[in-house]
Amino acid sequence: MLQILKYSFFDMIRNRWTFVYMGFFLILTVALFLLSNDITKVVLSMTNIILYLTPLLGILFGSMYYYNSEEFIELLLAQPLSRNAVFTGLYLGIASSLSISLILGVGLPMLFFGALSSPELPAVVLLLFLSVVLSIIFSLLSFIIAMKFKNRIKGFGISIFTWLFFAIIYDGIFLLILLLFKDYPLEKATLGLTVFNPIDLSRILLLLNLDESAMMGYTGAVLQKFLGSQLGTYMILITLALWIIIPFLYILRIGKKKDI
């Protein structure tokens, strides 16, 4: 597994799209600092950009890498290797390369512009952490989609729709439910529905720790009211951990049954 992870990691590092990925966030972060020297404002701006872009790029990179590596995967599975080792190594390789590129692209400008000496350092670290978590979650979803659908066009289409669903459509459905049932107490239902969207969970967690209650929306306000900032943070972190563990275990299950 470690050998496969090493190969997958260096294969992604050599890919020019990895450098484009890192360079995009590097330029974006520097541009925001040039527009405003206030780290709080930069973190808030990055929240709205990164928490939507990292899932999209993660799910596209994951799908693209899996489809381009199908022949290599078939070769590995023809060897006396555990299927769990093959799929775990491949996934960890792409996840680690994406995470490092993201941390360097966002973290280096933050350090250069004085994040270490800023009182907003915890928010910066949390932003990087959540960006990596979302990248991991959506690259996991991309592997599931690619393993389920051998047709590349269908796989890419479903991947993009998955991102659209969590980034845009889910919030629209959520708002519609709130409008239709506004006369009923929906606080507990709101908390339950939020669990099913990792993007919303990440945004609420970051804003809870930034104490920007005006930007948390209805869900964030309910979470803060019923759980408080600290308990709400723990609940969100546990839920995000489940968003990683469950898809990963599902990948291993598909890998054992998949007919290559």
Complete DSSP assignment for 80-139? S--HHHHHHHHHHHHHHHHHHHHHHHHHHHHHHTTSTTSTTHHHHHHHHHHHHHHHHHHH
* Residue 45 vs residues 42, 68, 75: alpha-carbon distances, Å: 5, 34, 45
Cα three-residue angle 189-44-226, rounded to 5 degrees:
25
DSSP letter at 27 equals H
CA 126 remoteness from chain centre: 13
Query: For residue 89, is pLDDT > 50?
Result: yes
Confidence of residue 76 (pLDDT cuts 50, 70, 90): confident
Show the domain range for 121: 2-257
Whether the CA torsion 56, 57, 61, 62 is positive or negative: it is negative
pLDDT for 107 equals 87
Q: What percent of the chain shows pLDDT beyond 90?
A: 17
Query: For residue 192, is pLDDT > 80?
Result: no
CB 92 within 8 A of CB 15: no
CB 51 within 8 A of CB 130: yes
Question: Is 94 or 219 the better-scoring residue by pLDDT?
Answer: 94
Asked whether the whole model's pTM tops 0.75, one would answer yes
Q: Each residue of 151-183: pLDDT tens digit?
A: 889 999 999 999 999 988 888 887 787 778 777
pLDDT for 16 equals 79
Please give the structure tokens belonging to residue 75.
């070769």
Q: Best-predicted range by mean pLDDT among 139-143, 174-178, 204-208, 255-259?
A: 139-143
Counting the structural domains of the chain, the total is: 1
Query: For residue 212, is pLDDT > 90?
Result: no
Mean pLDDT of 52-81: 86
Query: For residue 224, is pLDDT > 80?
Result: no
Please give the structure tokens belonging to residue 2.
């470690």
Query: For residue 222, is pLDDT > 70?
Result: no
pLDDT for 214 equals 45
Q: Each residue of 31-48: pLDDT tens digit?
A: 888 887 778 788 888 887
Query: For residue 244, is pLDDT > 90?
Result: yes
Confidence of residue 228 (pLDDT cuts 50, 70, 90): low
Distance CA 65, CA 36 (A): 36
CB 136 within 8 A of CB 95: yes
Q: Each residue of 94-147: pLDDT tens digit?
A: 888 888 888 998 888 888 887 777 777 888 888 889 999 999 999 999 999 998
Confidence of residue 235 (pLDDT cuts 50, 70, 90): confident
